[in-house]
Amino acid sequence: MSEAGGSAPKVHALVVGVGDYVRAEGATIGSIAGPVISALRFSEWLQSDFRPAGRELGTIRLLLSPTAQEQGVVDASRVEVHGRADRDTVAEELRAWANRCDASADDAALLYFAGHGTEAPLAGGHVLLDDFSPEEGLDRALDLRWLFDAMEYRAAGVNFFFVDACRAAIREQTDFVGQVGMRPIKVPQNAVPRRSRYKVLYGAANGYSAWTLPDADLLTDGTVFSWALRQALQRAAVGDYDGSLVVRCNRLSEEMALLVAAKLRELDQEYGGGEIRGAADGVGSIQEVAFHRPDSVPVELEIALTPEELALSTEATLYRAVDASNDRFDRQVLLDPHPARIVLQSGSYRLALKCPPPPPLGFDFSQRRFVVPGERLWTIEMQN
């Protein structure tokens, strides 16, 4: 995708997915289906649904090393793939990405990585590229902590990092103590930190593994992290002070942690292994960061009338409030069973209630409200 025109602040994204580890024979890790689907789906979401808060989407670069199982899904996608996720290509793309993120303090940098990963107190966190080899240790593994720190010296004021990878030490990491891994982004001498905020969302808690989905869902979402992220991007949306929707990073991380934990419990029961542990977590600067401003998100709304005995004799009609003077019919709301439960897109709505005579007096009632994910219960008190 080419860079958008104009002078508006931009988000520059680099998305990397590794499933086919071509030199990993004999290593403690090997090729795995799921991470490439995770990266592919996120790249598709960026191009179709991402609404950066206060910015526009600048560039997206996508590197994928798919397994044979994933190749057909990649071929069927409309997104452009810019190469494989090997050491040389990733190093080149990282340097170019860092340079694009060095133009304005109003810009934002976004990195998404899905694949094998590792973390240990002394060796730090790494993600393994597709030409990783056990004989070379971490020579073809990207040093994540160095990358996070190096980006602090680029102009982009905000950094978003998504790491869909395990965070437990592997044998190659402990066998090559002192090896730092790949550090393609350099920090200029006497450089001054310029980044103001950054957020990291992980696919696993420190010391634990990230997980792919079962075969039935593998080629749809790929990993538990990918599935949870797409769900949380809707569930974490809240109404902002101006009535719009916003997804902030801390809330996104909290929703993902809940979703990942629930999915892992489900998988644990399915597989009966008792070893599936860990949940997504987030780190970074304390100050909150707005990530995404969706136009609308689905909301499960419950409408209850009091006193309840009037519900069955009341006609309920829902209107979408287009503007202050224009309401459009949305649907009739059935109050049997009571309370009514419906799914609708967030926004401003008017609920009109009408109870004909005789029980006990006829009335008309209308109430207008803004529906957001955090407000899922309407209780309407009706007076006879």
In a domain, 54, yes or no: yes
Indicate the pTM of the whole model: 0.85
* Highest averaged pLDDT of the listed ranges 7-11, 117-121, 158-162, 326-330: 158-162
- According to DSSP H, which parts of the chain are helical? 35-48, 68-76, 87-100, 144-150, 171-175, 215-221, 224-235, 249-271
At 273, the pLDDT band (50, 70, 90 cuts) reads low
pLDDT at 268: 79
Q: What is the pLDDT of residue 121?
A: 60
- Which DSSP letter does residue 80 get? P
pLDDT number for residue 66: 97
User: What separation in angstroms does the CA of 230 have from each of 5, 235, 259, 283?
Assistant: 28, 9, 10, 19
The range of the structural domain enclosing residue 123 comes to: 10-292
| Whole-number pLDDT of residue 95 | 97
User: Do 53 and 183 belong to one domain?
Assistant: yes
More confident residue, 358 or 225: 225
- Residue 374's CATH number: 2.60.40.180
Are 307 and 161 in a shared domain? no
Q: Are residues 302 and 361 in the same domain?
A: yes
pLDDT digits (tens, 9 = 90+) for 234-250: 989 988 877 788 999 99
**Within this chain, do residues 78 and 153 fall inside the same structural domain, yes or no?**
yes
Q: Which amino acid would we find at residue 260?
A: V
* Strands laid side by side in the 290-292 sheet: 238-239, 245-248, 290-292
Mean pLDDT of the chain: 86
Residue that is last in its domain, among 232, 258, 292: 292
Position 195 scores a pLDDT of 95
Least confident of 28-42, 97-111, 170-184, 237-251: 170-184
Two tokens, residue 254: 């909290």
Residue 172's pLDDT is: 62
Does residue 5 sit within a domain? no
Q: Do 106 and 175 reside in the same domain of the chain?
A: yes
Give tens-digit pLDDT for 52-64. Answer: 988 999 999 999 9
pLDDT of 221 strictly over 90: yes
- Is there a contact between 223 and 34 (Cβ–Cβ < 8 Å)? yes
Residue 224 pLDDT level (bands cut at 50, 70, 90): very high
223 and 275 inside one domain: yes
Look at residue 146 and tell me if it is in a domain: yes
Neighbours of 298 (CB within 10 A): 13
| Domain stop point among 253, 272, 292 | 292
Whether 320 and 280 map to the same domain: the answer is no
* Predicted confidence (pLDDT) at residue 122 exceeds the cutoff of 60: no
pLDDT score recorded for residue 192: 93
Which of the listed ranges 80-94, 208-222, 360-374 does the model predict with the highest average pLDDT? 80-94
In the prediction, which pLDDT does 10 show?
96
Where residue 68 falls among pLDDT bands split at 50, 70, 90?
very high
Same-domain pairing of 59 and 186: yes
The pLDDT of residue 4 is: 44
Range with the poorest average pLDDT among 106-110, 345-349, 379-383: 379-383
pLDDT at 364: 57
CATH code where residue 120 lies: 3.40.50.1460
Residues 277 and 317 both lie in one domain: no
Is residue 128, in this structure, part of any structural domain at all?
yes
CA distance 356 to 366: 15
- Same domain, residue pair 373 and 232: no
Model pLDDT for residues 29-50, shown as the tens digit of each residue: 789 999 999 999 999 999 999 9
Name the pLDDT band for 75 (thresholds 50, 70, 90).
very high
Of 34, 84, 281, which Cα lies nearest the Cα of 167?
281
235 and 350 both lie in a single domain: no
Domain-located, residue 3: no
pLDDT of residue 2 exceeding 50, the answer is no
**122 plus 28 within the same structural domain:** yes
Confirm whether 2 is domain-assigned. Answer: no
Distance CA 297, CA 373 (A): 8
If one counts the domains in the chain, the total is 2
